[in-house]
Amino acid sequence: MYEASLPVWWEDTRRRVQDWARSGRAWPLGELEAVVNQYPFLLTCRTAQVNPPGTDWRTWLFQGGRGAGKTRAGAEWTRWSAIAARGGRIALVGPTLQDVREVMIEGESGLCRVEPVSALRPVYHPSRRLLEFHNGAVAHAFSAEDPDSLRGPQFDAAWCDEAGAWAHAEATWDMLQMALRLGPHPAALVTTTPRPTPLIRRLHASADTVVTQSATRENAGNLSEGFLAAVERAYGGTTLGRQELDGQLVEDPEGALFLRSRIEAGRVGHVPPLEDVVVSVDPPATSGPEADTCGIVAAGRAGEAAYVLGDASAQGLRPLDWAGRVVALARAAAAREVIAEANQGGEMVRQVLETAGCPVPVRLVQARLSKRTRALPVATLYEQGRVHHAGAFTALEDEMCRFGAEGMAGSPDRVDALVWAVWALMLDVRAVGVRQL
């Protein structure tokens, strides 16, 4: 009864099962109760863990954070494919053969564990690298370390785990695509923590790939509360956290001046005693709800290194509102002075800051070079490992890593403020104790 459209059946049944469970009514006798008994995962699965409806996709890419339920989704989809199709040949591809066996097959959420009826659990034959289901369907284990092992066999479906960590990713994927040629809708599920590898980028760009995403916190009910609190405290908002916890594909666009890898390498949790601190502001040309973002960044210097301390930038502010944010940050950071770009507003910028109660001198600077030209020496300092971020500044870092890239839209106001602050501390000959670079 399922062969006509397996993906549509799964999604429709999931919706019916969860609607019925939420209603509090007794289970009806017949098909729905039988389905729940056979597929209890339908009661608890999240939308991201369910394959796309229809048959106009060839690859389902489920990218998620650590512990987001990727393995469970992969095992349930593979089990459902084997049982609902009443037979078939499936490829199980992991980073290594050990990963396939210990995670995908025998792991806590693996194929041998998700079968609710112990007598019907599939049997793994290690010598043959073969998993055999009770209805005759079989799944063969493959390692991305050996792409050529996929030459010859053919399959109805494939489950590919942690493809972002495959050793020979593109070669393995190409060989698998040649082998996915059985049945009315041969398809692959890729479950992975996303990394900006050529294969993951390629899957994102493919017209027949559907992407679902899940963060670690969405699966909190199945995780240790202590684990979730610890990793979010340590990595929340960082590039590593966005990749490993939020399941986001984070990469550097072509031509970007600032690289995430450099920002991440320079991130610190402790700031040494600072010799100088400034706050810089790049005021918007207009005010009110439609105004551009006002860039407001605090930074300090210790020896030959600069430390980004805070980002109070905001969009749609009136002059006294953004000035108030500058004043608050200057006080919190114990700044020596405020650096304010005066191309838009001139002396009026100083007057607005003084009206808002600025506790330190205001130095007006004029931008005579392009934003990119001004940013280049600061980007060089990042490359040299001489600029550190004291914490995570997600919006600022996103803008930094887009800055200079082809097709970037909008004005890089946060970056402009950052550049002025680092310039004042590290590149301005008037800065105390700093050589001209």
CATH classification at residue 394: 3.30.420.320
Q: What is the pLDDT of residue 45?
A: 82
Residues 184, 264 within the same domain: no
Least confident of 1-15, 196-210, 261-275, 329-343: 1-15
Pair (181, 297) in one structural domain: no
Residues 29 and 171 in one domain: yes
- Of 222, 252, 285, which residue is a domain's last? 222
Determine the Cα–Cα distance for residues 400 and 404; give it in Å rounded to an integer.
Answer: 9
**pLDDT score at 91:** 97
DSSP string, 181-224: --SSS-EEEEEE-----HHHHHHHH-TTEEEEEE-GGGGGGGS-
Are residue 171 and residue 274 in the same domain, yes or no?
A: no
The answer to whether residue 8 scores a pLDDT higher than 60 is no
Of 222, 248, 271, the position where a domain reaches its end is 222
If asked whether residues 71 and 192 sit together in one domain, one would say yes
Q: Packing angle between helix 319-333 and helix 347-355, nearest 10 degrees?
A: 70
Full domain range(s) for residue 376: 260-427
Among 78-87, 295-304, 305-314, which stretch is predicted with the lowest mean pLDDT? 78-87
For residue 21, the model assigns a pLDDT of 67
Q: Is the pLDDT of residue 53 over 80?
A: no
For residue 437, is it within any domain? no
Residue 430 has pLDDT above 70, yes or no: no
Q: Are strands 89-94 and 157-161 parallel, antiparallel or unpaired?
A: parallel
Question: What is the rounded CA–CA span in Å between residue 107 and residue 130?
Answer: 16
pLDDT at residue 84 in the model: 72
Given a cut of 70, whether residue 212 has pLDDT beyond it is: yes
Higher pLDDT pick, 9 / 315: 315
Asked, for residue 154, whether it belongs to a domain, the answer is yes
Condensed to tens digits (0 to 9), the pLDDT of residues 16-31 reads 777 766 776 665 556 6
**The pLDDT of residue 432 is above 70:** no
Q: What pLDDT is stored for residue 54 in this prediction?
A: 77
Band of the pLDDT at 437, cuts 50, 70, 90? Answer: very low
Same domain for 289 and 142? no
Highest mean pLDDT of the ranges 159-163, 342-346, 403-407 = 159-163
Tally the domains of the chain.
2
Mean pLDDT, to the nearest integer, of 74-99? 87
- Domain identity same for 50 and 170: yes
Q: What is the DSSP letter of 1?
A: -
Please check whether residue 270 lies inside any domain of the structure.
yes
Work out the pLDDT band at 1, boundaries 50, 70, 90. Answer: very low
In angstroms, rounded to a whole number, what is the distance separating the alpha carbons of residues 84 and 12? 14
pLDDT of residue 435: 33
249 domain residue, yes or no: no
Same domain, 266 and 202: no
- Within this chain, do residues 180 and 44 fall inside the same structural domain, yes or no? yes
Please state, rounded to an integer, the average pLDDT across all residues of the chain.
86
78 and 217 in one domain? yes
228 part of a folded domain: no
| Highest mean pLDDT, choosing among 32-36, 54-58, 92-96 | 92-96
Residue 423 DSSP symbol: I
Across the range 95-109, mean pLDDT stands at 95
Q: Judge whether 255 lies within some domain.
A: no
Q: Are residues 68 and 203 located together in one domain of the fold?
A: yes
- Structural domain contains residue 324: yes
Given this model, what pLDDT does residue 370 score? 83
- CB contact at 8 A, 110 and 100: no
Asked whether residue 7 carries a pLDDT value surpassing 50, the answer given is no
* Residue 178 domain flag: yes
Query: Greater confidence, 395 or 345?
Result: 395
Domain end point (choices 204, 222, 240) = 222
The CATH code of the domain that includes 142 is: 3.40.50.300
CA distances from 387 to 156, 339, 381 (A): 52, 18, 6
pLDDT band at 262 (very low <50, low <70, confident <90, very high): confident
State whether 349 and 218 are in the same domain. Answer: no
pTM over 0.85: no
Question: Residues 283, 284, 290, 295: what is their CA dihedral angle, to the nearest 10 degrees?
Answer: -50
Both tokens of 66, joined, read 């650590």
Tell me what the mean pLDDT of segment 289-306 comes to.
Answer: 91
Per-residue pLDDT, averaged over 67-74, amounts to 93
